[in-house]
Each structure stands twice: as structure tokens, then as C-alpha cells.
Amino acid sequence: MSLRKTSILAVCGLTLLGACAPAMTDTGAAGMSRTQQGALAGAAVGALYGGTRDSDGSNRSRDAARAAIVGAAAGAVAGNILDRQAAALEQSISNPNVQIVNHGSYLQVVMPDGILFATGSAAVSGPAQTDLYAVARNLNQYPNSRVEVIGHTDNTGSAALNQDLSQRRAQSVAGILAAAGVAQNRLAAAGRGFTQPVASNATEAGRAQNRRVEILIRPTQ
């Protein structure tokens, strides 16, 4: 059997198995759960990797099928963990303005600056600290990840001022996570100023959306 046929059969078979698994509450493309998406992605990567292992081509089909199965299992586990971690975050964070987005390979926690900081300040408000402690507890419950804290601003003021403010805000949030027990070697903080808007800066509503801190949770296993 050719490498191409073996890879396709392995991926298709694993996809069908994933379809039989219990559906998760957080679904992605085509209604698949993150677990099923992870299995499919892992199978595809595994098949491609396994298919390139033997230079003489004698065992490439076999290796592709085996690697697809291993990759699918790893992808399914990672997807299932993210599903559960996202659900736990949603239950523990009290402010309804905090968004939790499961991208399949990582989680994104979006906190508007209006619930975090006073205008021009990098000091985190008391109520927001409560939610950040909830995020920290979740991160400690799911320790196999690295965490990026990214600060963003609107375009009011100079680029230098906004870059500095976004950096200090990201560091403030990361500092609270560290104070709540998240290991320092898991944390990174960076400011992006107004270089990565998610809405138009031409309106107040758009500028409010752009002023935010994002916490990106990327699994390491």
C-alpha cells in the first residue's frame, strides 16, 4: 500500500473514532470538539512525520500509520485538557466582560483595560485582582503550559508612551499571577502598544476593545 493511501486511511479512521467520542461543550470547526480536532491534527502531523522516516521507502507506509495513531492520541489528550481548562476558567472568573477563547492549540483570556486599570495607570484594580487570582489557581491546576501576558493600547498618544504603558500593564498582570503562585519560569510579559488592534481606533467603542490585556496559555505537553 502506498504512503499516500496509508496516511489517508489512518487519518480517516482516527477521525471516525473521534466522531464516536462524547461531544465536548466547546466545539470548533464543523462542530468538532477540541478533542476531535486535536486528534485529527495529531494524526495528520504524525502521518507526515512517520512517512518521511525511512529513506529507502521500505517501511514508510507502516511508519506513517503508526505515527498517525500516536499523533492522534497526543492531539486528543491536549485538546481534551484545553476543553476542561477553558470550562474551569469560565466557572471561576466572575466578571462577564472577560473573554475566554479556546483556539484548539492554546487558550486566550482577554481582559479589557476598563476592568483592570484606571486611565493611564498600570496598577491593577482590586476586583480585577480577584479574577487574576482565579486565573492563577487554574494555571496551577493545569501546570503543563507556558503563559504569555500581552498588553495592548489604543492609538491615543505617542507610540512610545503606549508601548511603555502596555509593557508596564503586562508586567503588572504577570506579577499578580506570580504572586498567586504561578512559577516565574512559566511567565513572560510583553507590551505591543497600539500595533495589534482588534477594532477600529476611529470610534470610542473600537478604542475600548483595543485597550486590553491578553493571557495566552500554551500547552507544553
Give 37-87 as a DSSP string.
Answer: HHHHHHHHHHHHHHTTS-TTSSSHHHHHHHHHHHHHHHHHHHHHHHHHHHH
* Overall pTM > 0.85: no
The most confident of the ranges 24-38, 39-53, 58-72, 112-126 is 112-126
Q: Is the pLDDT of residue 43 over 90?
A: no
| Residue ranges, CATH 3.30.1330.60, the chain | 93-219
The CATH number for 93-219, chosen from 3.30.1330.10, 3.90.230.10, 2.40.30.30, 3.30.1330.60, is: 3.30.1330.60
pLDDT at 10: 47
pLDDT at 132: 98
How far are the Cα atoms of 47, 54, 161 from residue 39, in angstroms, in the given order? 12, 24, 44
